[in-house]
Amino acid sequence: MVKVLLFGRLADLAGWRERDFGPGPPSLSALRSLVAAGNQELAGALAGPGVQVAVDLDLVRGEAILGAGAEVAFLPPMSGG
């Protein structure tokens, strides 16, 4: 089981902010396909520039192998302050 979190406009496009995927997608790319399944707009946004991914609170670049119980967050371009 992997917990997925979406933020900002990604959550708007998906219609959810947090969802569990199981029994356990082995890789980030596989997970990304599952998250965007049937939602072309979300698929495009997830692959878009400036979207970062954090696995268990650490930013990762490129591919990653996901452990059981991993928390994966998709982070669109950030702006605070």
Partner 1 sequence: MIRLTEQPFDPGAELNGFCRDRLGVGAVASFLGIARGEPGQASALELEAYPLFTQNEIAKIVASAVDRFGLHDVAVIHRIGAIPPGEAIVLVITASAHRREAFEACDFLMDYLKSRAPFWKREFGPAGPRWVEPTAGDLADIARWDRDAPRGGKTAGAAATNE
- By CB under 8 A, is residue 76 in contact with partner 1? yes
> Of 36 and 45, which has the nearer Cβ to partner 1?
45
Tokens 């356990």 locate to 24
- CB of 23 vs partner 1, minimal distance in Å: 25
Strand partners, 6: 74
- CB of 7 vs partner 1, minimal distance in Å: 5
> Of 23 and 45, which has the nearer Cβ to partner 1?
45
- By CB under 8 A, is residue 5 in contact with partner 1? yes
Distance, in Å, from the CA atom of 24 to the CA atom of 18, rounded to the nearest integer, reads 16
- Nearest alpha-carbon partner for 72 in 23, 36, 19, 33: 19
